[in-house]
Structure 1
Amino acid sequence: MPFETPLQEATLLRRYKRFLADIRLPDGQELTVHCPNTGSMRNCGQPGDRVWVTLDFKPGRKLPGTWELVEIGPGQLACIHSARANRVVGQALQQGVITPLAGYPEQRAEVRLPGGTSRFDFLLSGGALPACVVEVKSVTLALGNGVGAFPDAVSARGQKHLRELMDVVQGGRRACLLFCVMHSGIERVRPADEVDAEYGRLLREAAAAGVEVLAWSVWPEPDGMQVRGALPVLL
């Protein structure tokens, strides 16, 4: 999945106020760009790191660009633009690349089920398979030795999603939590109990209740996002 606009390499100077990042371009120009990530970005992006951004100097824009990728150690890249996860997963679902969720001729995004209060990322339906609700979570927290974890900060919203996925299963539908792992150094995923113990507890409860928990590797590269395949989830 190529980026809509070619990425520009830069050096990270700092991230602050959650949504702002200062960068330095190779020609020495310093800019403030948008940081499209609401999490703590733990272990992602230290001053001096090599990053990649999209730049757009159109009149009227508050900021001239968006931070997309960061290099974390030699040869490892992470995509910190969390909204990319849904875009990549949506395309992969359409192409049948995520095999446990293949075989659905119809796909809708941002769906609110009857009687529900929240929107789910995807609803897969049609054909002989039971309809499936899919909630996507972007994983970039690498703990070393190939282990990645979610979340990177206490996530009341993530906890709420797990409870709602359990309600979906109890209502007779299929439900799936899909970890989209956008870090080339992560080889397996587990709940970040040391960050959010309640999320870990709920994730295990959801899996026991019938919610399917999957992890899929997506390698970010400066020319696009490459879907790699399934990763083990350690519960």
Structure 2
Amino acid sequence: MYKNIFKGHFLKRINRFLALVEIDGKIENVHIKNTSRCDEIFIPGAICYLEKSSNPNRKTKYTLISAEKNGMIINLDSQIPNKVIYDAIVEGKILSNLNPVDVKREVSYKSSRFDIAFYSQSEKKKYFLEVKGVSLEENGIAAFPGAPTTRGKKHLDELVDAVGEGYGAVVVFLIQLETASLLVPNYNMDKDFSRALIRAKENNVLLKAYNSIVTKDSIKINKEVPISFEEKYRDNFRI
């Protein structure tokens, strides 16, 4: 999935898209494909893995794709979950009960552009699907979002609208690590998104979450995990 991988040590995050990493004894500016805060991962000295670009004209030679936390590799590429979920649908690994056909990526509906759309042969209707990558985890519990997301709330609201107009709607959370066994909304990070997620569930938007098997150069879907809206997680999850 990834090629030309180098190991580095994280030094400092400069902004949302740029960090300093030591690679083979040299300090490099590297690109980050993740706008979440990742404060619990991006700590000085953390081991990380980077893909070196083959484009000699690129401003940053490397892209940070994963990092270790407590010996566990977490994929941090926010662009890869869409591909992983698309492939899993096409290969019949998930949502097989809906018998999806005509699976497409990047499909417009109203003012949103959803990650995936398909036709359900089982339910005889079109589905819109939004993918959310998750990298925030504590003690086996994953949480989303890792940063406030007005765009994410807008997607949820328009999926609810789509259901009201007779379409099907799904949100799939891909947890980009293996050890998480539960997903919860991150109320403390974004109450508006969390409330919108509850509203989506109450309005028949299908919610699914899966963890992943991650190596330094790959990620693949693993097991489905439950999503909990229990109030105890609103105060206990404070990363």
Specify if TM > 0.5: yes
- SS at structure 2 position matched to 1:153: coil
2:92 is aligned to: 96
Q: Does 1:123 align with 2:117?
A: yes
Shift of residue 67, structure 1, vs aligned partner? 0.2
- SS at structure 1 position matched to 2:228: coil
- 8 Å contact 2:97–2:122 — kept in the other structure? no
Distance 1:128 1:184 in 2: 31
TM-score, length-normalised on structure 2? Answer: 0.90
2:234 is aligned to: none
Distance 1:32 1:167 in 2: 43
1:85 is aligned to: 81
Structure in which a larger fraction of residues adopt strand: 2
Shift of residue 23, structure 1, vs aligned partner? 1.0
Shift of residue 222, structure 1, vs aligned partner? 1.4
2:101 is aligned to: 105
2:32 is aligned to: 35
Segments of 5+ residues of structure 1 without an aligned counterpart are none
- 8 Å contact 1:134–1:175 — kept in the other structure? yes
- CA RMSD of the aligned region, Å? 1.5
Shift of residue 60, structure 1, vs aligned partner? 1.2
Segments of 5+ residues of structure 2 without an aligned counterpart are 230-239
- 8 Å contact 1:96–1:102 — kept in the other structure? no
Q: Kindly provide the CA deviation profile for residues 4-56 of structure 1, in whole angstroms up to 9, marking residues without a partner as x.
A: x132111111111111111112x312211101112222422211000000012
Distance 1:60 1:52 in 2: 21
Displacement over 6 Å in runs of 4+: none
Mapping 1:1-235, distance limit 5 Å: 2-3=1-2, 5-25=3-23, 27-56=24-53, 58-74=55-71, 76-99=72-95, 103-113=99-109, 116-125=110-119, 127-129=121-123, 130-142=125-137, 144-235=138-229
TM-score, length-normalised on structure 1? Answer: 0.92
CA distance 1:104–1:16, change in 2 (3 Å): same
- 8 Å contact 1:93–1:101 — kept in the other structure? no
- % identity of equivalent residues: 28
Shift of residue 146, structure 1, vs aligned partner? 0.8
Structure 1 range deviating more: 125-134 or 200-209:
125-134
- 8 Å contact 1:93–1:102 — kept in the other structure? no
Structure 1 range deviating more: 55-64 or 190-199:
55-64
